[in-house]
Amino acid sequence: MSGLAESPPEPPTSSSGGRRWAVMTVVSLGFVMMTVNWFDLAPAFGPISVEFRVEIPQVALLISAFVAGYGVFHIPAGFLSTRLGIRRTLVIGLVVEGITGALSGVAADYTQLLVLRIVCGVGASIYAGIGIAAVSVWFAGRAHGFALGVVSAMFSLGTALGLYVWADLADAVGWRRALVAGGVLCVVTGAAVGVVFRPPPGGRSLTGVRITGDAVRQTLGNRRLWIYGVAFLGGYGSFLAASQLLGGYGADYRHFSTAGLASLIAGLAGIPGPLVIGLVSDRLGKPRLVLLVAVLLEAVGLLLIPVAGESWFWVPAFIVGFAFNGAFAVWETIPGEDRTVRPENIGTAVGLMLTITAVGGFVLPWAFGLLVPAAGYTTAWVLLGAATAGLALLGVRAREPRARRPEARVVTSPR
C-alpha cells in the first residue's frame, strides 16, 4: 500500500515551467489526433454503404460502436493509469486508437469494421480522461482552466479536421487510405507524448502505484465528484443532441438556408469558448460559480433556438457551442483542483465524472427524438434547455474544490 503525504511545494524552476507548457502542447496534439480518428469515418459513410452493401441503420451503428467503446472504459482507464503511470497509459490509449483506426482502413467486411470501431473507441476513452489528468497534475492551481481550455479547443479542432479536412483527403486518395493516414499520425503522436511527458517535481506516485481498495472507495465514492458530474449531465447531453440535430432542424423544419452555417458556427465556437471561460475561471478562482454561469448560458442558447429567425439563427448556435465547451474546460479542472483526490487517482476521478455525463449523452438525444413527433420541436428544445439549467443548479450544492497547492510534492513509499 502506498502512503501519501503532501510536503511543502518545491520552488518552481525555469525548466519545470518550460516542461509544463511542453506537456500541455503535446497532450493537446494528442487530443487533436484522438478526435480526428473519432470523426474521420463520417466522410466515408457513403462509400462504406456502397462497398459493404449496408443501409443507414448499419452505418449509424458504426457511430454507436465507437461511442460504446469510448463510454465504458473511462473508469478502467483511470485504474490503468494508477497502476502503470500516466505516461505509459497515455501512450497505450493513442497507440490502441491509432492502430485500430488504421486497420479500419483495411477492414475486409462490415463486421470487422464494427469491431475495430469499438476498440478504437476504447483507445480514445483511455486517452481522454488520462490526458486531462496529465495536464491537471502540472497546472493545478496555476492557469489550470486556461490549460484545459486549450485541450478542449483542440478537441473541437480535431473534430473539424476529421469531418472536413479528412473528407477532402478521402476524396483525393480514397476513404481507406485516409483512415490509414489518420491512424498512423495518431500512433506517431502517441510516441511523441511518451517522449515529452514527465511527472511534475515530486510526483513519484504518477509513475504507477498499487491500486488499493481504500483509494478506489475514496475516489468513486467522492460526493463532490458525483454532484459535479450530475450537474453537468444535462449540459453534456444537450450539446451532443443540439450539435447533431441543429442543422437538420434548421434546414428541414424551419427551411433556413443558413442552417449549415449555424451548425458549423456551433462547432467553431468550441475553440474560443474554453480559452476565454477557462481564463476567467483562473482569474476569479471560483470554478463552481463560473461553471454554473456557463451552463446556464448554454441553457439560454438552447431555449433561443426555436424562436430564432433565419438572420440570427447562428446566434444561439454560437452561444451553445461557446458556453458548453467553456463549461467543459472548467468542469475538467475539478478533480485536479480537489486535494481530497490523490494525484495518481485524478484519472479515475475524471473517468467517473465522464461516465456520469455519458448517461446524459445517451438519454437526452433519445428523449429529444421521442418528444419531437409527440409534442413538436419547440417542446423538445425547451426540454433540453430546462434539463441543462435544472441539473446545473444542483451544482450550487457542491462546494468549491479544496484547492491543491501548485506543484505539491507527493511522497510515496516503495511499491
Say if CB 236 and CB 361 are below 8 A apart: yes
pTM above 0.75, yes or no: yes
The Cα 254–Cα 351 span in angstroms is: 39
Question: How many angstroms separate the Cα of 227 from the Cα of each of 34, 36, 353, 356, 399?
Answer: 28, 31, 9, 10, 9
Strand 5-7 and strand 409-411: pairing?
antiparallel
Backbone angles phi, psi at 10, to 5 degrees: -75, 145
In order, the DSSP letters of 290-333 are: HHHHHHHHHHHHHHHGGG--GGGTHHHHHHHHHHHHHHHHHHHH
Nearest 5°: the CA angle 47, 53, 56 is 75
Which cell is 338 given? 480537489
Tens of pLDDT along the chain (415 residues) come to 333 333 333 334 445 668 889 999 999 999 999 999 998 988 888 899 899 988 877 887 887 788 888 888 999 999 999 999 999 999 999 999 999 999 999 999 999 999 999 999 999 999 999 999 999 999 988 889 999 999 999 988 998 898 889 989 999 999 999 999 999 999 999 999 999 999 998 888 899 899 888 888 989 999 889 999 999 999 998 988 888 778 888 888 889 888 888 888 888 899 999 999 999 999 998 898 999 999 999 999 999 999 999 999 999 999 999 999 999 999 999 999 888 898 999 999 999 999 999 888 878 888 888 888 889 899 999 999 999 999 999 877 766 665 555 444 343 333 3
SS3 category, 49: helix
Say if CB 39 and CB 94 are below 8 A apart: no
Give me the amino acid identity at 377. Answer: Y
